[in-house]
Structure 1
Amino acid sequence: MNLRRQLVLLSLCTLALPWAGCQYLRQVDAALSQGQIQTLEATGNAIAARLASAPELIAPDSRRTGRPPGAQLYLNPLPQSPVLDGYGEEWRALELRPRQLLDQQGEPLARVTLGKHSSHVYLLLTAKDRSPSYHDPRSPSISSGDTVEIFTAQKQYTLPVASQGPVRALYYNPRRGSYERELRLRGRWTASPRGYQLELALPFALTGGEMAIRVLDRTRSDNSEPTRLASTLPADGRPGTLVEPLPALQQELEHFARPELHLTVVDQEGFVLAQSGNRLGSIAEGDQHTAENGRWLRDWFYRRLLATDRLPPLPEGEYPVALTENRETASQWFSAPEATVRAPGDERIGAVSVPVVTRADNIIERPLLGRVIAAQSASALQSLTESAAQRLWLTTAGAAGLVLLLLLGYASWLSWRIRRLHRAARTAVDSSGRLRGDFPRPYLNDELGALNRAFASLLAELDHYHQYLRSLASKLSHELRTPLAVVRSSLDNLAAGELDQDSRRYAERAAEGGARLSAILNALSAANHLEASISQADKEEFDLADLLQLLTQSYADAHRGHHFDVQCPGSPQLYHGAPELLAQLLDKLVDNAVSFAPGGSEIRLTLEADSQEYRLSVSNEGPQLPPGFGQKLFDSLVSVRDDGGKAGHLGLGLHIARLIADFHQGTLDAANREDGKGVTFTLQLPR
């Protein structure tokens, strides 16, 4: 993995910034939520303290004291009088909570909803009876089948169940000793798929402030004992009190009203006595405007980001038992009803329930008068948190993007410097082993710049040493000529005197070695002078193909023991160079080929041309090159001959050929032939 990718992967650690910001936002959201719960609890305690100091506001009716739970019935305030048609469409639109009536086995037999408008009490009763038994007119009893009984403070009314039609309410008149019809009770029966339904109205003054309901279910219309019975009438036979909202309490509660705050006061059984603010189902209605503005996806994302636990949904128009039926302060978070928000859990509602306990002294267990429930939507907190989340995301995303770009740019710049150093190191030495001398020297003082300068210094020292080695031959040639001349003159004088046979043989051998040494020094001197003369040669434009053909004819005349073949294009091949030097180069290559090729073999000279370069090759049969000698052949004093240098081949011919190729900015290579029968030398000249 390259350095740039490593730095890019390292820069991904900046993604921890948004994660840490999210964790911080969640903690802030939790702290704000806890603060909201504490504020609601303080509000509830203040209202509970006020009501405890004035218990007549919350418990003005002393008749309820000591009554068994479940005996009381709640009168819901109705915005208008319902139509008494038996169907109850107006009731369903109000979404009121019905009272369940259970039979002896605890199974639901009926449910009843009561309401009050003006001076009348309205009742909607729905019974669950698969086989209703209606009253038989032939029976002497007032109700021989299913019966609904209504108890008030003074009277008991019997309502025989009918499949359809108006209600007949009968009560016993003790003065006349007979049952009479109560015309002030108006209503209507209707049949339903699961039983029957009753819609009834009666004056509130007729109830005396008390009411109980009993439903009798018979299997036959023969006035037999009912098989099932459900009733709100206590065991003492006294109807329960009708509970309804208290105007004085409502007026007192309005003093604590605040925007976005919903206050509810319930009695000890959970019946609503007063309310302030929007109803529970509409607390989150203000958030619907956000959805209509097309920002629902963003809001949903923030809520999913900040949400920790899934909240239970708040029931429609009511609070759970945990907030209405205990003597301790309780708090809980809910999600708004699904009908008022875009999706479940989109809106949070915090609710705190505080008990109202009387402050009367000398009481072992002070009675519970009711509870104050304070509820508030968390939309303001969520808007604040979402705004902070948006700013955090924008800031962290911008910072992470900037850091990523800076790291990527720095990695690219650093990678470019390393690649530049790598290319310079690879091209510092040419194919012949010479230093090019153009190694870059940066001016930056970092570690990479120090490494670059160290490489440059090292190559400079190597170049100095290489220059010393190149000049060593000429220096040795110059320094050895004088002692060699002394040795040769001494050997000549010795040979002129009287010597025995053995001494003369040794003197001749010493003279032969001196002659060889003198030839070597002359060749070294000639090579140094030739290199200097090559650099001063003049270039001209000539036909390279014509030069090759002329030289091939000369080689054929000079080396009649070999067969020469030339292959070149028929058209002129113009080239700008030094023809004398190129002829000398070919002389060296052909001389090398003749020395290795067996007698009578073919030596092929080939010229190829394309749009970029000329390729001139000399191929001969013979032994192949040893491994690793492809470029070493062109170094000074390097030879692969096995004659020990007796034939005078000192390895300077191919070295001179390479010097001529370098002068023409070409390359000279040697490789074994593909057929494995010889060697091919190739000269590449740029056009």
Structure 2
Amino acid sequence: MKLRRQLLLVSLVALALPWAGCQYLRQVDQALAEGQLQALDATASAVAARLASAPQLIAPDPERHGRPPGAQLYLNPLPQAPLLDGYGDDWRPLELPARELLDQRGEALAQVTLGQVAGRVYLLLTVADSTPAYQDPRTGLLAGGDAIELHTADRHYTLPVASQGAAQAHWYNLHRGTHERELRLRGRWTSSARGYQLELSLPYPLTGGSLAVTVADRASSDGAKPLRSASTLPADGLPGKLVQPLPQLQAELDHFARPQLRLAVVDSEGFVLASSGQVERAEEDLQRPSWLRNWIYRRLLARESLPEMPAAQLPATLTQNRTSAEQWFRGPLEGRIGAVSVPVITRADDIIERPLLGRVVALQSAEALQSLTESAAHQLWLISCAAAGAALLLLLGYASWLSWRIRRLHRAARNAVDASGKLRGNFPRSRFGDELGALNRAFAGLLAELDQYHHYLRTLASKLSHELRTPLAVVRSSLDNLSVSDLDTDSRRYAERALDGSARLSGILNSLSAASNLEASIQQAETEMFDLADLLDVLVQSYGDAQRGHRFALDKPAGELPCRGAPELLAQLLDKLVDNACSFAPQDSEIKLSVAREKDAYRIEVENDGPLLPEGYSHKLFDSLVSVRDDGGRAGHLGLGLHIARLIADFHRGHLTAANRQDGAGVIFTLQLPYRAAVGPL
């Protein structure tokens, strides 16, 4: 992985700043939420204390507290009178809680909902009965099949079930001893796939403040005993009280009203006796232009999953037992609603077990606190993103600068040595005082020392040849004088052998001196424009005359091949390559020379049959004093020919390589010789 990518990954640590900020804001939000619940609890406790001091406000009917639980029915305030058509379409939008009626096996047999408008009581009864037994007039029975019974304070009404049509209510008149129809009770039946439904209306004074509902399910219309029944009538046979909101309690509760605060007073069974204020403002929140941003912030800052606030009723968990309770609920747009419930217990000292009169439930939206937290979160995100972006740009810029310095050092180290192994001497030195600058200077110092050592090796040949000439001349003159003396056969043989060795040593010194002089003379050579094709024609003819033991072939394109360079040096380069090919090629084999045009250079090749190059010698062949000839050095080959050829190629800005042929039958030398870039002074 590159350095810039590594630093880019390291810069991602800056993203921990928003995360840490979110954790801090969550702690702050939790502290503010706890404070809000404490304030809400104080408000609910104040209302509960006021109601405990005036129990007549919450319990104006003392007899009601003596009735068994589940006997009472609640009258929901209705905005308008529903249409009595039996379908109940006007009730569904209100989403009023229904009272379930359970049969003897604990299964739900029916649901009943009651409401009140302008002194009239409205009832919606839905019965789940897959096999209803409707009233059969032929039996002469008042309720031979399924029936609904209404128990008021002083009357018992029976309503035989019909599949469709108006409902008829009958009651037994003790004075006359007959069943009479109650015309003030109006309703209508409808049937459904699950059973039947009754929508009914009666004046409130007709109930006497009490009402009980009984559902009787029979298998047939013969008046037999009901198979199932469900009722709100207690065991003592007295109907429960009708519970409805209390105006005086509502007026008292309005004194504690505040914006975004809902206060509700419920009785011991959870029926709402008074309610003031509103909590939810979903439509206003949706109209805000920043609702989506607030929703996202609330999701990010949410501590835990909260239960959803019921839409049309108070939470059931807050209207149970005799202890205070508090809980958070989820409102619209991931908002939070705090709920606190405080019991109202009478303060009468002469009562041993103080009864639970009801509960005060306080609901308040955390919109203000959440808006404050979201505003802080918004500022935090902006600042954190700006800081993370600045850190990212800074680290990216620093990584780019550092990567540029490393790439510059890499290029300098890669180009410090040319193809011939010479140091170019232009290695840059860094002025920075950091570790990378110290590394750069260490490389520069190391290359300077290597350059001095390389210069010593380059001049070693000329120094040796100069220093050895005088002692060699003394040895040779002594051997010459010794050879003209009278010597026996063995001594003369040893003298001649020493004379041959001195001659070979003199040749070696001459070759070293010539190589050193040639390297210096190459740099002083003059260039000119010439025809490369004509030069190759002349050279191939000369090679054919000089090397009778080999055949030479030339492959070149038609026409002239203009080139700028030193023709005598190029001829010397080709002489070295051809001489090397003749040394290894078998007798009477063909040595092929070819030239071809490429994009910006000529490709000149010399290939011959013979042994392949040893592994790893394709680059070493062109170094000084390197030879792969297996003659024990008797031929005096010092490995300078190909070295000189490479020096000439470098002078022409060319590239000389050696490789084995693809067919594995020989070796091929390739010279890439520029002709466009070479036009002009080299």
If the TM-score is normalised by the length of the shorter chain, which range does it land in? Answer: 0.7 to 0.9
Match of 2:76 in 1: 76
Once the 2 structures are TM-superposed, how far is the Cα of residue 264 of structure 1 from its aligned partner?
Answer: 0.6
Match of 2:173 in 1: 172
**Structure 1 residues 133 and 648, CA, compared in 2 at 3 Å: closer, same or farther?**
closer
Match of 1:330 in 2: 325
Match of 1:578 in 2: 566
Q: 1:107 & 1:258 partners in 2: Cα distance?
A: 43
**Structure 1 residues 484 and 218, CA, compared in 2 at 3 Å: closer, same or farther?**
closer
**Structure 1 residues 134 and 621, CA, compared in 2 at 3 Å: closer, same or farther?**
closer
Q: Give the counterpart of 2:429 among 441, 451, 459.
A: 441
Match of 1:185 in 2: 184
Deviations, residues 276-309 of structure 1 (Å, cap 9, x unaligned): 113xxxx43x223444668776565445444455
Q: Does 1:565 align with 2:553?
A: yes
Structure 1: 5+ residue runs without aligned partners? none
For the residue of structure 2 that corresponds to 1:538, the secondary structure is coil
The worse-fitting range, judged by mean Cα deviation, of 575-584 and 647-656 is 647-656
**Structure 1 residues 304 and 493, CA, compared in 2 at 3 Å: closer, same or farther?**
same
Match of 2:680 in 1: none
Report if the CA contact (8 A) 1:552-1:566 is conserved.
yes
Equivalent residue letter for 2:74: Y
Equivalent residue letter for 1:187: R
Match of 1:462 in 2: 450
The worse-fitting range, judged by mean Cα deviation, of 39-48 and 86-95 is 86-95
Equivalent residue letter for 2:435: E
Report if the CA contact (8 A) 1:135-1:146 is conserved.
no
Report if the CA contact (8 A) 1:18-1:393 is conserved.
yes
Q: 1:542 & 1:195 partners in 2: Cα distance?
A: 116
Once the 2 structures are TM-superposed, how far is the Cα of residue 60 of structure 1 from its aligned partner?
Answer: 2.4
For the residue of structure 1 that corresponds to 2:466, the secondary structure is helix
Q: 2:617 & 2:543 partners in 1: Cα distance?
A: 27
Once the 2 structures are TM-superposed, how far is the Cα of residue 261 of structure 1 from its aligned partner?
Answer: 1.2
Alignment of 1:93-132 (within 5 A): 93-108=93-108, 110-125=110-125, 130-132=131-133
Equivalent residue letter for 1:202: P
Alignment of 1:200-239 (within 5 A): 200-204=201-205, 207-213=207-213, 230-239=230-239
**Structure 1 residues 586 and 239, CA, compared in 2 at 3 Å: closer, same or farther?**
closer
**Structure 1 residues 548 and 265, CA, compared in 2 at 3 Å: closer, same or farther?**
same
Match of 1:355 in 2: 343
**Structure 1 residues 482 and 376, CA, compared in 2 at 3 Å: closer, same or farther?**
same
TM-score by length of 1: 0.84
Report if the CA contact (8 A) 2:233-2:239 is conserved.
yes
Equivalent residue letter for 1:514: S
Q: Does 1:287 align with 2:282?
A: yes
% identity of equivalent residues: 63
Alignment of 1:254-269 (within 5 A): 254-269=254-269
Match of 1:666 in 2: 654
**Structure 1 residues 473 and 90, CA, compared in 2 at 3 Å: closer, same or farther?**
closer
Q: 1:657 & 1:56 partners in 2: Cα distance?
A: 123
The worse-fitting range, judged by mean Cα deviation, of 513-522 and 262-271 is 513-522
Equivalent residue letter for 2:364: Q
Q: 1:537 & 1:91 partners in 2: Cα distance?
A: 112
Report if the CA contact (8 A) 1:85-1:199 is conserved.
no
Q: 1:126 & 1:293 partners in 2: Cα distance?
A: 42
Report if the CA contact (8 A) 2:87-2:197 is conserved.
no
Once the 2 structures are TM-superposed, how far is the Cα of residue 461 of structure 1 from its aligned partner?
Answer: 0.9
Deviations, residues 214-246 of structure 1 (Å, cap 9, x unaligned): 556666777776666555444555544333222
Report if the CA contact (8 A) 1:136-1:145 is conserved.
no
Match of 1:556 in 2: 544
The worse-fitting range, judged by mean Cα deviation, of 537-546 and 614-623 is 614-623
**Structure 1 residues 5 and 138, CA, compared in 2 at 3 Å: closer, same or farther?**
closer
Match of 1:58 in 2: 58
**Structure 1 residues 586 and 363, CA, compared in 2 at 3 Å: closer, same or farther?**
same
Once the 2 structures are TM-superposed, how far is the Cα of residue 380 of structure 1 from its aligned partner?
Answer: 3.9
**Structure 1 residues 135 and 349, CA, compared in 2 at 3 Å: closer, same or farther?**
farther
Report if the CA contact (8 A) 1:356-1:372 is conserved.
yes
Q: 2:606 & 2:216 partners in 1: Cα distance?
A: 126
The worse-fitting range, judged by mean Cα deviation, of 669-678 and 47-56 is 669-678
Q: Does 1:161 align with 2:160?
A: yes
Q: Does 1:472 align with 2:460?
A: yes
TM-score by length of 2: 0.85
Q: 1:361 & 1:347 partners in 2: Cα distance?
A: 44
Report how many residues are paired.
670
Equivalent residue letter for 2:283: Q
Q: 1:639 & 1:144 partners in 2: Cα distance?
A: 128
The worse-fitting range, judged by mean Cα deviation, of 325-334 and 311-320 is 311-320
Deviations, residues 536-595 of structure 1 (Å, cap 9, x unaligned): 122111222222222333333344444443333342222212222223333334444444
**Structure 1 residues 545 and 86, CA, compared in 2 at 3 Å: closer, same or farther?**
closer
Equivalent residue letter for 1:64: R
Deviations, residues 152-194 of structure 1 (Å, cap 9, x unaligned): 55x32534537444655546365xx555868783423434343
Q: Give the counterpart of 2:531 among 538, 543, 552.
A: 543
Deviations, residues 334-357 of structure 1 (Å, cap 9, x unaligned): 345xxxx58xxx454332211011
Q: 2:352 & 2:96 partners in 1: Cα distance?
A: 38
**Structure 1 residues 499 and 134, CA, compared in 2 at 3 Å: closer, same or farther?**
closer
Alignment of 1:610-629 (within 5 A): 610-629=598-617
Q: 1:596 & 1:117 partners in 2: Cα distance?
A: 123
Match of 1:630 in 2: 618
Equivalent residue letter for 1:330: A
The CA RMSD measured in Å over matched residues stands at 3.8
Report if the CA contact (8 A) 2:73-2:211 is conserved.
yes
Q: 1:424 & 1:471 partners in 2: Cα distance?
A: 26
Q: Does 1:485 align with 2:473?
A: yes
The worse-fitting range, judged by mean Cα deviation, of 222-231 and 309-318 is 222-231
Equivalent residue letter for 1:276: S
Once the 2 structures are TM-superposed, how far is the Cα of residue 49 of structure 1 from its aligned partner?
Answer: 1.2
Q: Does 1:319 align with 2:311?
A: no
Match of 2:522 in 1: 534
Once the 2 structures are TM-superposed, how far is the Cα of residue 254 of structure 1 from its aligned partner?
Answer: 1.0
Match of 1:452 in 2: 440
Structure 2: 5+ residue runs without aligned partners? 676-682
Equivalent residue letter for 2:58: I
**Structure 1 residues 565 and 128, CA, compared in 2 at 3 Å: closer, same or farther?**
closer
Q: 1:633 & 1:162 partners in 2: Cα distance?
A: 117
